[in-house]
C-alpha cells in the first residue's frame, strides 16, 4: 500500500491517500475524483483525512493508517468503527467509504473482549452497567464474540444475570440474546440458567425491558431443537430426533424449556397475559414465544401444552389483538399463530378417540350423563346407549374415526354450552319414530367436517390464509351455532333419515354465507345468520348454488383427494417462491414512514435502486444499493452487502414510502407524496434491531414472490400473506382435482360417499395374493 506525504488540512488534521500497492499510477486514486474522502479519528483525538481504496481488505487499511500515524503497537491490536460504533469489516467497507462515513481507529475486538471480561467480574453497579451496555452491542460481532467466548466470558455473563436486577439485568439479558444469534458458543447453557430465565420472566415485578430479552432467549432455546439441525427439512415429525454433535447448540428444544416452565408456577399464564400488554414490543415477543412453542411441541408433551393454552384462552387473547388494529409488526405473528392453530386442529382431527384415555373417557361420560338417558336393549337384545344420541353404532372409535379428538371436543363443548337444551333435544328425538329422528351426534361430527373443509384443515403446516380469521380461532363456538342451525333445518324441513345429505348441503351453504369476510364482519352477524335465517330462504339460495356446482365435489373421497392435492400444490408454490428469491430482483430503496420530513434521505436519494438475491444455502440475502440499474451477474460477487435470514423475525408490509424523483418506468408506484405508504413496500424486521431493510417491489408479482417467499422460507412453514400466492395454491389444487376427476367421470365410475371397512381378520394366518387378473374383454 502506498500513501502520499503527510499534509496539514484546513481543519487542522492530516490527509492520506490509501491506495492498493503500486497503484500510484491509478489516476482515479491519485486525483481522488472517484474515491471519496473519509475522516478517521484516532484514540488520542487526532483527526486525519484519508482516501481509502474500497477494494482493499480492512487489515491492509489499518496497517497503512498505523504506519502513517507512526503507531508503534502492532496493527492487529486496532480496528475501525464508524460513529455509531459498528465494526468496519470487509463486507461493509465499501459501503462505509461510499457513504463518506466518519471512522474511528479504536482497539481491536480482541482487546475490547479482554477488557470487558475483566470488568464483568467487578460488582460495582455503575461500572457493570456501562460494561454491559457496551457488551450488548459488541457481542454481535463475530471477532469479538470468539474472543469473548475463549476468555470464558459466557460464564461471567451468566453469573451477572444470576445476581442482577433492573436495568443491569436488562443489559445482561440483551447481551445474552445477541450472543445467541450465533449458531455456536452457547451450548453449555444448563438447566439452572434456563430456570433462572423462566423465573425472571414469570415475575410480575420484572420490567418490560427485562422481559423482552428474557422472552427472546427462551424462544431461541426452544428453536435450538435437535430436529432443527441445519440440513434438508424432512416432512416426517415422528422420526427420532437426530443426535446433536459435540458443541452443537441444537441440544435444547421444547421439552427442555417446557420442563423448566412447569417448575415455575404461573409461568405460561404470565406469558399469555402479556398479550394484553400496552407495550407492542412485549406483545410481539410473547406472540413469537408462543408460536415457537406451538411449532416445536413434541409428541410427549403436546397434549399437556395444548390443554394449558386452551385453559388460558390464548385464542381469545389473539382475537382481541386482531380487533385492536395493532401495529403492522404484529400481523405476521398473528398469521403465524393462525397457521399453528391449523396444525393443532389437524392433529386433533387425526388423533383417534381412545376409550382407555382418561380425558377422552371423562368427556364421553359427561356427554352421556348430560343426556339424562338410561341404557336400553334393542330388538336383538344388545345394549343401546350411544345410538340413542345419534351415533350409528356403539363403536365410538369408529364413529369418531373421521373427526378424531376434535370431534369429541366439539361435541362436549356443544353439550356444555347449554346442558338443558341438549337434554331436551335428545329427549325430543327419542320420542319420534326411528325414521324421523335427527342423529344429533352424527350431526355434530358432520359440522366438524364442514368447518374443516371451510377453513382448509387439510394437512399440517399448510395454511394459505392471508387475513385475520377470528371466527376460526373460535372454532367451538361456530360449531355450536352451526349444529343448532342443522337441527333447526331438520325440524323446519320435516326431514327423515334419508334426507340427511340434503340437510348437510343446506348447512354447507350456510357455513359459506355466515363465515364470509370474517376479517371484517362482527360476531353478532354470524349469530344472526345461523340462528335467525329462514329455511325457505336458505333452501332457495342453496338450490341456485346447486345449478352452478357439482355435487361430486362434496363427497368424502373427493374431499380427501383435494386435501392431498392442496398439500402438493402448496409445496410446489413454496419452492417456486424460494427460487424467485434465489434469482434475485431489483427494488426501490424505500423511506420508512418515521423518517423526518426534512431528511436528506428524502430530498436527495443517492442510491435509490437495490438488487437482492438469496444465496444457494438459503442463509443470507445478498444485496447492493446503486444509483442506476445494471446487469447483475449470477452468484454474489456483485452484491457486497448481506442480511442474515435468521435475524428476520417479521416481514412487515405497507411500512414505507418511495423517495421522490425516482424513475417510475415499469413500476407500479403511485404518484403520491413522499411519505405516503406504498402498497408494494415491505420491511425486513429484526426482533431487537428494528428494520434491516426497507424496499418497494416493482410490481405486485415481485411483491408476492418476496414477501411470501421469505415467510415460507422459514423451517416452521411460515404463512402466506398475499392473495396472489393463495390464489396460485387454490388454482393448482382445483386444476389437479378436475384432471383426476376427468379420469373417473370419463369412465363413468361411480364415486361412493364413503367406504365401509369390513371386519378385521380374526388371526394373522393369511397373506396377500400375488396373482394378477386380466380384466380385458
pLDDT tens figures, 489-542: 999 988 899 999 999 989 999 999 999 988 888 999 999 999 998 888 888 888
- The CA-atom distances, in angstroms, between 161 and each of 127, 261, 446, 642 are 15, 18, 54, 32
Could you tell me if residue 769 is inside a domain? no
pLDDT tens figures, 679-732: 888 888 876 667 888 899 999 989 999 988 888 886 555 677 788 888 888 888
Q: What is the Cα–Cα distance from 306 to 656, expressed in whole angstroms? A: 38
* Amino acid 148: pLDDT: 94
Does one domain contain both 625 and 670?
yes
* Amino acid 520: pLDDT: 87
- For the chain, the domain total comes to 4
Q: For residues 567-595, b (16+ Cβ closer than 10 Å) or e, as one string? A: bebbbebbeebbebbeebbbbbbbbbeeb
Does one domain contain both 435 and 541?
yes
Cell numbers that stand for 217 in this block: 432467549
Q: What is the CATH number of the domain that holds 572?
A: 2.30.29.30
* Amino acid 11: pLDDT: 38
| Four-residue CA torsion sign, 732, 738, 743, 744 | positive
pLDDT tens figures, 60-78: 988 888 888 888 888 888 9
Does one domain contain both 45 and 181?
no
Residue at which a domain ends, from 481, 514, 549:
549
- The CA-atom distances, in angstroms, between 438 and each of 289, 372, 494, 496 are 45, 18, 10, 8
Other beta carbons less than 10 A from residue 477's beta carbon: 16
- Full DSSP string of 182-238: SSSS-TT--HHHHHHHHHHHH-TTS-HHHHHHHHHHHHHHHH--GGGSSSPPPS-SS
Q: Which range among 149-163, 442-456, 683-697 shows the weakest confidence by mean pLDDT? A: 683-697
Could you tell me if residue 102 is inside a domain? yes
Tell me, what DSSP letter sits at residue 682? E
pLDDT tens figures, 721-743: 788 888 888 888 888 888 877 76
Q: For residues 737-766, b (16+ Cβ closer than 10 Å) or e, as one string? A: beeebeeeeeeeeeeeeeeeeeeeeeeeee
pLDDT band at 12 (very low <50, low <70, confident <90, very high): very low
Does one domain contain both 572 and 671?
yes
Other beta carbons less than 10 A from residue 510's beta carbon: 22
Does one domain contain both 79 and 45?
yes
Could you tell me if residue 334 is inside a domain? yes
* Amino acid 757: pLDDT: 57
Q: What is the CATH number of the domain that holds 283?
A: 1.25.10.10
Q: What is the CATH number of the domain that holds 100?
A: 3.10.20.90
Rounded percentage of the chain residues whose pLDDT exceeds 70: 82
Q: What is the Cα–Cα distance from 465 to 455, expressed in whole angstroms? A: 9
Could you tell me if residue 557 is inside a domain? no
Could you tell me if residue 676 is inside a domain? yes
Pairing of strands 78-82, 376-377: unpaired
- The CA-atom distances, in angstroms, between 433 and each of 313, 368, 428, 436, 504 are 42, 21, 11, 5, 21
pTM greater than 0.85? no
Q: Is 199 exposed, middle or buried (0-12, 13-18, 19+ CB in 10 A)?
A: middle
Could you tell me if residue 767 is inside a domain? no
pLDDT band at 768 (very low <50, low <70, confident <90, very high): low
Cell numbers that stand for 195 in this block: 430456570
- Full DSSP string of 33-80: SSS-EEEEE-TTS-EEEEEE-TTS-HHHHHHHHHHHTT--S-GGGEEE
Does one domain contain both 447 and 572?
no
Q: What is the Cα–Cα distance from 278 to 4, expressed in whole angstroms? A: 59
Q: Is 373 exposed, middle or buried (0-12, 13-18, 19+ CB in 10 A)?
A: middle
Q: 3-state class of 611 per DSSP? A: strand
Is the predicted pLDDT of residue 416 greater than 90, yes or no? yes
Does one domain contain both 397 and 543?
yes
Is the predicted pLDDT of residue 302 greater than 90, yes or no? yes
* Amino acid 774: pLDDT: 47
Say if residues 538 and 506 touch (Cβ distance below 8 Å): yes
State the first-to-last Cα distance of the chain, in angstroms, to the nearest integer: 88
CA angle, 382 then 385 then 387, to 5°:
95
Q: For residues 301-328, b (16+ Cβ closer than 10 Å) or e, as one string? A: bebebbebbeebebbebbbebbeeebeb
As a whole number, mean pLDDT of residues 609-616 equals 91
CA angle, 725 then 728 then 733, to 5°:
135
Rg (C-alpha) for the chain, rounded Å, is: 32
Rounded percentage of the chain residues whose pLDDT exceeds 90: 38
The boundaries of the domain holding residue 646 are 567-725
Q: 3-state class of 751 per DSSP? A: coil
Does one domain contain both 338 and 366?
no
744 vs 364: which has the higher pLDDT: 364
* Amino acid 206: pLDDT: 78
Residue at which a domain ends, from 523, 549, 575:
549
Does one domain contain both 368 and 338?
no
CB under 8 Å, gap of 24 or more: what pairs does 487-494 form? Answer: 487/425, 487/438, 487/440, 487/443, 488/535, 489/535, 489/538, 490/438, 490/443, 491/438, 492/535, 493/535, 493/539
Q: What is the Cα–Cα distance from 453 to 575, expressed in whole angstroms? A: 25
Does one domain contain both 645 and 675?
yes
Could you tell me if residue 20 is inside a domain? yes
Q: What is the Cα–Cα distance from 646 to 182, expressed in whole angstroms? A: 10
Could you tell me if residue 736 is inside a domain? no
Residue at which a domain ends, from 488, 520, 549:
549
> Among candidates 581, 648, 591, which has minimal Cα distance to 611?
581
Does one domain contain both 602 and 540?
no
Does one domain contain both 518 and 593?
no
Say if residues 669 and 662 touch (Cβ distance below 8 Å): yes
448 vs 776: which has the higher pLDDT: 448
pLDDT band at 652 (very low <50, low <70, confident <90, very high): confident
The whole-chain average pLDDT of the chain stands at 82
746 vs 80: which has the higher pLDDT: 80
pLDDT tens figures, 203-233: 877 789 999 999 999 999 999 988 877 654 4
Proportion of the chain in helix, strand, coil states, percent, rounded to 5: 50, 10, 40
* Amino acid 328: pLDDT: 56
- The CA-atom distances, in angstroms, between 746 and each of 488, 724, 738, 774 are 39, 32, 11, 21
pLDDT tens figures, 353-401: 999 999 999 999 999 999 998 888 877 778 889 999 999 999 999 999 9
Say if residues 740 and 561 touch (Cβ distance below 8 Å): yes
Amino acid at each position: 500500500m502506498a500513501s502520499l506525504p503527510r499534509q496539514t488540512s484546513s481543519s487542522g488534521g492530516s490527509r492520506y491517500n490509501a491506495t492498493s500497492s503500486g497503484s500510484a499510477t491509478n489516476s482515479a486514486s491519485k486525483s481522488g475524483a472517484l474515491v471519496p474522502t473519509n475522516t478517521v479519528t484516532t484514540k488520542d483525538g487526532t483527526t486525519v483525512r484519508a482516501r481509502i481504496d474500497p477494494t482493499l481488505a480492512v487489515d491492509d487499511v489499518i496497517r497503512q493508517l498505523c504506519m502513517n500515524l507512526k503507531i508503534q503497537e502492532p496493527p492487529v491490536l486496532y480496528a475501525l468503527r464508524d460513529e455509531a460504533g459498528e465494526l468496519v469489516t470487509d463486507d461493509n467497507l465499501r459501503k462505509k467509504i461510499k457513504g463518506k462515513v466518519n471512522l474511528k481507529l479504536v482497539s481491536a475486538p480482541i482487546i475490547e473482549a479482554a477488557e470487558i471480561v475483566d470488568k464483568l467480574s467487578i460488582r460495582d453497579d455503575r461500572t457493570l452497567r456501562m460494561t454491559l451496555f457496551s457488551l450488548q452491542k459488541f457481542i454481535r460481532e463475530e471477532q469479538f464474540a470468539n474472543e469473548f467466548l475463549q476468555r470464558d466470558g459466557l460464564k461471567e455473563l451468566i453469573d451477572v444475570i444470576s445476581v442482577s436486577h433492573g436495568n443491569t439485568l436488562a443489559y445482561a439479558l440483551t447481551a445474552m440474546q445477541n450472543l445467541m444469534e450465533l449458531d455456536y458458543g452457547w451450548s453449555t447453557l444448563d438447566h439452572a440458567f434456563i430456570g433462572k430465565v423462566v423465573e425472571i420472566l414469570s415475575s410480575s415485578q420484572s420490567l418490560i425491558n427485562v422481559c423482552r430479552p428474557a422472552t427472546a432467549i427462551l424462544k431461541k432455546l426452544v428453536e435450538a431443537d435437535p430436529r432443527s439441525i441445519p440440513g434438508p427439512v424432512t416432512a416426517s415429525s415422528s422420526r427420532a430426533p437426530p443426535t446433536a454433535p459435540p458443541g452443537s447448540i441444537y441440544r435444547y428444544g421444547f421439552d427442555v424449556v417446557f420442563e423448566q416452565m412447569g417448575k415455575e408456577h404461573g409461568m405460561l399464564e404470565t406469558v399469555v397475559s402479556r398479550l394484553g400488554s400496552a407495550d407492542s414490543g412485549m406483545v410481539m415477543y410473547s406472540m413469537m414465544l408462543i408460536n415457537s412453542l406451538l411449532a416445536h411441541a413434541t409428541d410427549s408433551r403436546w397434549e399437556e401444552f395444548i390443554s394449558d393454552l386452551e385453559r388460558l384462552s390464548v385464542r381469545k387473547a389473539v382475537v382481541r389483538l386482531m380487533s385492536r388494529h395493532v401495529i403492522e409488526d404484529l400481523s405476521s405473528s398473528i398469521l403465524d399463530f393462525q397457521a399453528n392453530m391449523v396444525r393443532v386442529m389437524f392433529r386433533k382431527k387425526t388423533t383417534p378417540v381412545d376409550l382407555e384415555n382418561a380425558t377422552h373417557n371423562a368427556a364421553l361420560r359427561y356427554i352421556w350423563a348430560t343426556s339424562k338417558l338410561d341404557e336400553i336393549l334393542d330388538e336383538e337384545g344388545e345394549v343401546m346407549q350411544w345410538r340413542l344420541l345419534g351415533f350409528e353404532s356403539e363403536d365410538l372409535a369408529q364413529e369418531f374415526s373421521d373427526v378424531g379428538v376434535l370431534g369429541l371436543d366439539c361435541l362436549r363443548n356443544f353439550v356444555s354450552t347449554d346442558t338443558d337444551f341438549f337434554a331436551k333435544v335428545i329427549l325430543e328425538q327419542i320420542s319420534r319414530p326411528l325414521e324421523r329422528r335427527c342423529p344429533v351426534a352424527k350431526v355434530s361430527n358432520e359440522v366438524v367436517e364442514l368447518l374443516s373443509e371451510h377453513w382448509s384443515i387439510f394437512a399440517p403446516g399448510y395454511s394459505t390464509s392471508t387475513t385475520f380469521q377470528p371466527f376460526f380461532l373460535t372454532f367451538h363456538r361456530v360449531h355450536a351455532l352451526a349444529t343448532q342451525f342443522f337441527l333447526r333445518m331438520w325440524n323446519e324441513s320435516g326431514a327423515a333419515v334419508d334426507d340427511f345429505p340434503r340437510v348437510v348441503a343446506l348447512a354447507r351453504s350456510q357455513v359459506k354465507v355466515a363465515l364470509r369476510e370474517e376479517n371484517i364482519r362482527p360476531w353478532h352477524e354470524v349469530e344472526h345468520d345461523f340462528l335467525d335465517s329462514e329455511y325457505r330462504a336458505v333452501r332457495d339460495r342453496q338450490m341456485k348454488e346447486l345449478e352452478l356446482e357439482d355435487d361430486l365435489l362434496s363427497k368424502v373421497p373427493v374431499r380427501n383427494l383435494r386435501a392431498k392435492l392442496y398439500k402438493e400444490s402448496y409445496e410446489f408454490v413454496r419452492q417456486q417462491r424460494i427460487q424467485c428469491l434465489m434469482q434475485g430482483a431489483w427494488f426501490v430503496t424505500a423511506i420508512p414512514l418515521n423518517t423526518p420530513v426534512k431528511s436528506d434521505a428524502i430530498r436527495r436519494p443517492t442510491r435509490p435502486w437495490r438488487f437482492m438475491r438469496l444465496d444457494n444455502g438459503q442463509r443470507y440475502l445478498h444485496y447492493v444499493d446503486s444509483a442506476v440499474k445494471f446487469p447483475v451477474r449470477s452468484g454474489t460477487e456483485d452484491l457486497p452487502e448481506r442480511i442474515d435470514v435468521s435475524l428476520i423475525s417479521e416481514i412487515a408490509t405497507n411500512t414505507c414510502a418511495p423517495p421522490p424523483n425516482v424513475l417510475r418506468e415499469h413500476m407500479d408506484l403511485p404518484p403520491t407524496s413522499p411519505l405516503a405508504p406504498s402498497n408494494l413496500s415491505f420491511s425486513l424486521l429484526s426482533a431487537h434491531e428494528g428494520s434491516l431493510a426497507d424496499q418497494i417491489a416493482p410490481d405486485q408479482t415481485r411483491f408476492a414472490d418476496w414477501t411470501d417467499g421469505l415467510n415460507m422460507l422459514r423451517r416452521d412453514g411460515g404463512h402466506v400473506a398475499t392473495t396472489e400466492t393463495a390464489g396460485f395454491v387454490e388454482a393448482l389444487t382445483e386444476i389437479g382435482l378436475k384432471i383426476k376427476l376427468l379420469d373417473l367421470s370419463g369412465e363413468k365410475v361411480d364415486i361412493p360417499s364413503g367406504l365401509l371397512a369390513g371386519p378385521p381378520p380374526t388371526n394373522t394366518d393369511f397373506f396377500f395374493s400375488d396373482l394378477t387378473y386380466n380384466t380385458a374383454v
